[in-house]
């Protein structure tokens, strides 16, 4: 059995689900537009530049979850899926995932975006396993804090290894391990798999992929 790992934002999706979730809440009047958009844009620029402080960002991104009841969040998320996410899912991305699933590979979406936002997206792709940043819950409500290690940069390796260990596997056990990503922030995990694939890569990842002879593909 082989292993196939997929980054989500700007890889399988033609956009960033974390960013769009914030903008969705702004458009619904849940968050103050001027304040939130400025912060959200600044964090997104830091992410693209490779300078993001993940803990600072998550304190910002998870705060809205702690302010609202789960039932209300779920209703909003259903609208979010229809209005923002499904238009970002292209047929090429669906076909890529289907090929790996049809081949009987162990597949997972591996993303820094929190699991509240991304679990329904993983289901939309038919992927049973999600390795994501986990928002903390106490008595069924979000606290606004992170549970465990954020699934970001080197943290993706830690989280993937922990997930595989729960299934009785190690990353090194798979004859072929693939990881698809668009971002230089994922270089640590790309370097650990046997088949790294750059997908519509940013400039830094594109340069690294060309220098190392990695496949470069487009899903757009």
At residue 55, the pLDDT reads: 82
Structural domains counted in the chain = 1
For residue 8, count other CB atoms closer than 10 A to its CB.
Answer: 27
Catalytic entry in 9, 16, 186, 202: 9
At residue 154, the pLDDT reads: 96
- For residue 46, pLDDT over 90 is answered with no
Average pLDDT on 133-138 reads: 94
Query: Model's pTM, two decimal places?
Result: 0.93
**Higher-pLDDT residue of 48, 86:** 86
Q: Is there a contact between 7 and 190 (Cβ–Cβ < 8 Å)?
A: no
* pLDDT tens profile 191-210: 999 999 999 999 999 999 99
Average pLDDT on 8-20 reads: 96
Tokens linked to 177: 């391990």
pLDDT bin (cut points 50, 70, 90) of residue 150 is very high
> d(Cα 218, Cα 29) in Å, to the nearest integer?
35
pLDDT bin (cut points 50, 70, 90) of residue 41 is confident
Average pLDDT on 175-187 reads: 97
- Is 53 marked active-site? no
Q: Is there a contact between 11 and 200 (Cβ–Cβ < 8 Å)?
A: yes
At residue 30, the pLDDT reads: 86
Range of the domain at 67: 3-217
CATH number, residue 143: 3.40.50.1000
Average pLDDT on 39-67 reads: 84
At residue 32, the pLDDT reads: 82
Three-class secondary structure assignment of the chain:
CCEEEECHHHHHECCCHHHHHHHHHHHCCCCCHHHHHHHHHHHHHHHHHCCCCHHHHHHHHCHHHHCCCHHHHHHHHHHHHHHHHHHHECHHHHHHHHHHHHCCCEEEEEEEEEHHHHHHHHHHCCCCEEEEEEEEEECCEEEEEEECCCCCCHHHHHHHHHHHHHCCCCHHHCCCEEEEECCHHHHHHHCCCCEEEEECCCHHHHHHHHHHCCCEECCC
- Is 9 marked active-site? yes
């Amino acid at each position: 059995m082989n292993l196939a790992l997929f980054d989500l934002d700007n890889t399988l999706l033609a956009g960033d689900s974390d960013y769009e979730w914030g903008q969705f809440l702004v458009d619904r009047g849940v968050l103050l537009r001027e304040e939130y958009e400025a912060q959200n844009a600044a964090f997104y620029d830091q992410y693209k530049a490779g300078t993001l402080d993940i803990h600072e960002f998550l304190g910002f991104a998870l705060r809205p979850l702690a302010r609202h009841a789960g039932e209300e969040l779920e209703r909003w998320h259903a609208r979010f899926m229809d209005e923002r996410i499904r238009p970002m899912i292209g047929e090429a991305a669906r076909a890529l995932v289907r090929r790996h699933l049809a081949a009987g590979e162990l597949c997972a979406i591996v993303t820094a975006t929190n699991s509240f936002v991304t679990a329904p997206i993983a289901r939309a792709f038919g992927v049973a396993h999600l390795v994501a940043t986990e928002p903390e819950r106490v008595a069924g409500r979000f606290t606004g804090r992170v549970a465990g290690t954020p699934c970001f940069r080197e943290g993706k390796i830690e989280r993937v290894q922990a997930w595989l260990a729960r299934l009785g596997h190690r990353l090194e056990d798979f004859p072929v391990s693939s990881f698809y990503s668009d971002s230089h922030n994922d270089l640590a995990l790309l370097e650990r798999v046997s088949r790294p694939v750059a997908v519509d890569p940013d400039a830094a990842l594109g340069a690294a992929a060309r220098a190392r002879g990695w496949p470069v593909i487009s899903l757009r």
